[in-house]
Structure 1
Amino acid sequence: MIPTPYPLEADLGIGWYATDTPGAGGVLRQSPEDFVVEEIPKDGAGESGPYLLCRLTKRNWEHQHAMKSIAAALGISHRRIAWAGTKDKNALTTQAITIYNVDEAAVRALSIRDMEIEPVGRRQHQLSLGDLAGNRFRIAIHDCDGPDLERTVESCTEAAAGGFPNYFGLQRFGVVRPVTHLVGREILRGDYEGAALTYIGLACPDEEESVREIRTAFLEERNAKATIAALPRHLGFERSVLSGLAERPDDYSGALKNLPPKLLSMFVSAYQSWLFNRVLSMRCADGAGLDEPLPGDRLLFANGREDVVTAVNTRVVSIHIARGRCAIALFIPGSEPTSGTGAGDERMAALLDEDDIGAEDFRRASEFVGLRYNGALRPIAVKTEIDAGVSGQDICLSFRLPPGHYATTICREYMKADPRAMI
C-alpha cells in the first residue's frame, strides 16, 4: 500500500491506495457518457399500489435538483418521490424511483431536458435507500499520461479481485464543497447554528471566487436577505436555509428543516462515513492487509451474520475470507450502544470522544432529521471483477458494485490522480 499525496483526500480519511503501481493519470468524466451507471433492481413492480414505480434515466443532473424538477413538473411535493440510491451528477444514470399517488399518464407526458421517465408498474410501498441489488458501471478514463498503461491496468485489475480500501468517495462529502460531514458533526453536537453557518458560509477553494466572497460576507454580517439576493440561483438549497433565517433570524434548526429530509439526513450519514474512512486509513497505515484477520476484528458474513475474530479462530476465518464467505468490517457507530472488540472500535470511539459525540447525540439527531442511525457494519475491502482495456491513451472499465460502494474508489486506484480529476 502507498499513501495518497493529495491533502483533500487525506482530510476526508481517504488515505491509501492498495496498489503501488504508478498512476495512469487521466481525466474522468470528460462528458457524462464517460460515466454510465445502471441500477440493478432488487424487487420488481406489481400491478397495484399507491406508488408508481418508474425507470429514470438522466444526463448531467444533480440528484436532488432532478427530483425537485420532476415534482415541479408534476405539480406535487418533492417529498412524494423516493429512490433506492443517489447517483452522480456528471454521468448518464439509470435508476428506479417511486412517486406517490400520481397519474401514470401525467408521468408519461413529462418532457424534461436530458431526462426520460418510464413508468414500469406499481408498488405497495415506496423505495428506500439501499433497496437495490447494486449498480453496473461503464467508465472511460481519457488522456492517461502515466507510464506503461498496459502494465498499470493489468496490475490494478488483478488487485481488484483481492480488494481495494472500501472508502466512501469524495462525492459523499460534496464534490465542489466537501463540507457535508462538517455540517453533520454540528447537527450531532446539537449546534444547529453552527450547522447552518457551515453549510451556508464555509467557503471552499474550488468554488468561484464571487461565491466564496458571498459566503464569507454572510459569516461576517449574518444578513440572510442580502445573501439570498447575491447567491446564484443554482445554489437553491443554501437559499432555502437562508429563506428560513430571513423570516426567523434565530431559528437555525427550523431553517435547516427547509432542506429536503433526505438531504438533511445525509449530513449525519456523511459524518459517519468520515469516521469510517479515518479508521480504515489508520488500519492501512498499520500495514495490516484488508484480508488479514486480527483478533478483535469484526466479521460480516454474506448472509448477514456477524462474528468477531479471536486468537483461536484466525486460521478458519482466513479460509472463509479467501472463499468469499465473509469480510472484515468496521462498525460505523450510531444511536445503539456497542461494546468494543478490537482496534477499529477503539479508534472509532477515540474519534467520537475527540468530537464529544456519543450515542445520545445520534438519537437526538435521528429525531431532528427523521432517520434512524443505529450503526452498521461495512466491509473494509471492495472487491469486484473488472473488464478493463486500453485504447491509445484511454482506459475503459466495466464492473458492478454492491449498494453503497463507490466507483471512484475503483477508478482512483488506476488513476492515482488529483481527486478533482474524478469530479
Structure 2
Amino acid sequence: MRESTFPLERELGMRWYASDGDGIGGRLRSSPSDFIVEEIPIEGKGGTAGPYLICRLTKTNWELQHAVREIAKRLGISHRRIGWAGTKDRNAITTQWISIYDVTEEQVRGVQLKDIVLEPLRNANEALALGQLEGNRFALVIRDTDPNDLAGRVEAITGTVREAVPNFFGLQRFGAIRPVTHAVGEWILRDNYEQAVLTYIGLPFPSENEDVRAVRTAFLETRDPAPALRNLPVQMNYERAMLQHLHNNPGDYAGALRELPPKLLSMFVSAFQSYIFNCALSRRFDDGVALTEPVPGDHLVFANGRTDTVTATNAAAAALHIRRGRCSIALFMPGRGNSSGPVLKEPVMDGLLAEKNITPDDFARASRFVGTKFEGAFRPISLKTEIEYSTGETDVTLKFTLPPGHYATTVCREYMKADPVRMV
C-alpha cells in the first residue's frame, strides 16, 4: 500500500494505492479518442415489443445529461422520457444504450447533432434504468508518461490490478471540473436547500474560466440571481434554470433544486454516499487491514447475490472463498434503511455519518424530496480485472472490462499515481 499525496484525492477519500512502487505519471484523455468506452448491454432486456425504443447512442465529448436534453429537444419531447443504464464520461468517445418512450424509428433517424450518432435498435416493454448493463469495455491511452523502465513498471502495476486495487468511486463521480456533487448532496441530507443551491451555483474552482469564477463568487456573496443570469454563459443551462427560478421566486431554494433533471438531482445524494464509502475504505487501510484479508465484522457478497458476515469462526473459510473468487469483501453504503431486513452494522461508516450528524431519517427525507429510494447497497471494496497493455516510448495503452458502477479512472490512478486532474 502507498498513500496518496494529492489534496483533491485526499479530500474525496481516495487516500491509498494498492501498489507500493512509483507511478508512470502521464496524462489521460489528451483527446476524446484516448478514452473509448463501449457499454455491454444485457441481451434481450425488456423483450422486443413495447412503447420504448432502444437506441444505441455514440457521442464524442458530450456530457450525458446535456446530450439527452438536446436529443429530447430535437424530438420535441420531455427529457424525462429518455432512460439509460450507465452515465458515461464527457471527454471520451462513448457508446451506450438508451430508451426513449413513444417515438418512432423515423423520428430518431431524423435527429442530427454534431458528434452524436443515434441508431434505433428495437422496441422494449420497459425503460432502461441505471445499472441495467453487464459492464463496460475500455480502450485507453495514457500519454507523456515517465519513460524510465516504463514497461517494467507497467508490468508490475498490471500484476497488482489483476489481484486487487481499492474500488474507489472516481473523481468524475463528484464532478470532474468542480467536484462539489457530494457536498450538494450533504446539504440536501441536512435539509438545507439554500446551502445546496449556493454550493452548486456559487462555489468556484481554480480550473474554471476566470469570468465564470467571478460570477459564482459574486452570487455566493450577494445571493442575487439577476447579475449571475446576465453574466453566466448560455451553455450553463442547469445553473441558469435554477437562477431563473430564484429570480421569479425569491428564496425558494427547494424549488430551484427541482429545476434540475430528477436523475441529476438524485446524483447529489448518491455522490455523498460514494464519498462516505471512499472515506470508510481509506479508514480500513489506515488501520492496516488488507483489501482481500477478511476480519470479523466484514460483510461478504457472493457471485449469486448472497451475503454473509465474517466471524472468528468462519474467517479462514471466508479467506478461501475470496481467494477462489467466490465472494468479495463489501461495505454497506448508507441509506434510509429497510425495515423489512436486518440492521447492518458498519462501524466505520456509522462513525463517519455520526461525525456529520446524518441519520437514516435524513436519507428518508431526502428520498421523498428527490424521488429516489436511497436504501443503501453493498459495494465490493476491491476491484480487479485482466489488463491487456502495450507500451511505446512514453505512451501506454490499456484495454480492460469492468462491471457496472466501477471506474476506469480507479484503474488508471493506480498506474499513474498523478494529480487527479490529469485524468479528466
Range of TM-score over shorter length: over 0.9
Residue of structure 2 in register with 1:19 after alignment? 19
Structure 2 letter corresponding to 1:44: G
The one-letter code of the counterpart of 2:67 is A
How does 1:321-332 map onto structure 2 within 5 Å? 321-332=322-333
Q: What per-residue deviation string (whole Å, max 9, x for no partner) do you get for residues 19-48 of structure 1?
A: 112110111011111000000001326432
| Alignment-mate amino acid for residue 24 of structure 1 | I
CA deviation profile, 1:276-326 (whole Å, cap 9, x unmatched): 000001111222111010000011111100100000001100110011100
For residues 213 and 314 of structure 1, what CA distance do their matches in structure 2 show?
Answer: 56
Tell me, yes or no, if structure 1 residue 177 matches structure 2 residue 178: yes
What residue in structure 2 maps to residue 310 of structure 1?
311
CA separation in 1, counterparts of 2:288 and 2:36? 34
Residue 416 (structure 1) aligns with: 417
Residues 182-225 of structure 1, C-alpha deviation per residue, up to 9 Å, x if partnerless?
00000011111111111111111211221111111012211112
* Aligned position for 1:118: 119
- TM-score normalised by length of structure 1: 0.98
Shift, 1:147, TM fit: 2.7
Q: How does 1:155-234 map to 2 (within 5 A)?
A: 155-234=156-235
Q: Say which is worse superposed, 254-263 or 102-111, in terms of deviation.
A: 102-111
> Given that residues 9 and 420 in structure 2 are in contact (C-alpha distance below 8 angstroms), is that contact kept between their aligned partners in structure 1?
yes
Are the counterparts in 1 of residues 186 and 272 from structure 2 also a CA contact under 8 Å?
Answer: yes
| 37-46 or 119-128, which deviates more | 37-46
When structure 1 is superposed on structure 2, of 319-328 and 145-154 the one drifting more is: 145-154
C-alpha separation in 1, matches of 2:368 and 2:233: 32
Report what 1:5 is aligned to: 5
Which range moves more in the overlay, 210-219 or 372-381? 210-219
- Deviation of 1:340 (Å): 5.0
Which residue identity is paired with 1:39?
Answer: E
Encode CA deviations 1:308-367: one digit per residue, 9 max, x unaligned: 0000001100110011100000010100166454xxx11211111121111111111111
Contact conserved, 1:22 with 1:147, CA < 8 A, in 2?
A: no
SS in 1 for 2:205: coil
Distance 2:125 2:298 in 1: 40
C-alpha displacement of 1:418? 0.7
Match of 1:41 in 2: 41
Could you tell me which amino acid in structure 2 is paired with residue 22 of structure 1?
A: D
User: Residue 399 of structure 1: CA displacement?
Assistant: 0.3
Does residue 86 of the first structure (1) align with residue 87 of the second (2)? yes
3-state DSSP of counterpart to 2:159: helix
Q: Tell me how far 1:146 sits from its aligned partner.
A: 5.1
The CA distance in 1 between the partners of 2:356 and 2:288, in whole Å, is 26
Q: How does 1:340-419 map to 2 (within 5 A)?
A: 340-341=344-345, 345-419=346-420
Cα distance in 1 between the residues matched to 2:265 and 2:335: 16
> Could you say what the CA RMSD is over the residues aligned between the two structures, in angstroms?
1.1
Task: State TM-score, norm by structure 2.
Answer: 0.97
Q: Which amino acid aligns with 2:242?
A: V
CA contact (8 A) 1:141 1:396 kept: yes
Rounded Cα–Cα distance in structure 2 between residues aligned with 1:103 and 1:420: 41
**Separation in structure 2 between the aligned mates of residue 97 and residue 212 of structure 1, nearest angstrom:** 34
Aligned-partner SS, 1:132: coil
Please, which moves more after superposition, 366-375 or 265-274?
366-375
Shift of 1:234: 2.0
Where do 5+ consecutive residues of structure 1 fail to align?
none
- The answer to whether the 8 Å contact 2:147/2:394 transfers is no
Q: Which residue of 2 aligns with 1:265?
A: 266
Sequence identity percentage? 56
Contact 2:48-2:125 at 8 Å conserved across structures: no
Q: Write out the 4+ residue segments of structure 1 that deviate beyond 6 Å after TM superposition.
A: none
Look up the SS of the partner of 2:58 in the other structure.
Answer: strand
The residue number in structure 1 matching 2:297 is: 296
More off after superposition, 228-237 vs 394-403? 228-237
Q: Is the 8 A contact 2:329 2:380 kept in 1?
A: yes
> Are the counterparts in 2 of residues 25 and 146 from structure 1 also a CA contact under 8 Å?
no
Q: Is the 8 A contact 1:166 1:405 kept in 2?
A: yes
Q: Which amino acid aligns with 2:264?
A: L
Q: Note if contact 1:35-1:137 (Cα within 8 Å) is conserved in structure 2.
A: yes
Corresponding letter in the other structure for 1:159: T
Q: Is the 8 A contact 1:26 1:141 kept in 2?
A: yes
State the SS of the aligned residue for 2:161: helix
Query: Aligned partners of 1:362, 1:192: CA distance in 2, in Å?
Result: 14
Q: 36-45 vs 159-168, which deviates more? A: 36-45
Task: Give the secondary-structure state (helix, strand or coil) at the position aligned to 1:10.
Answer: helix
Aligned positions, number: 420
CA–CA separation in structure 2 for the residues paired with 1:125 and 1:156:
42
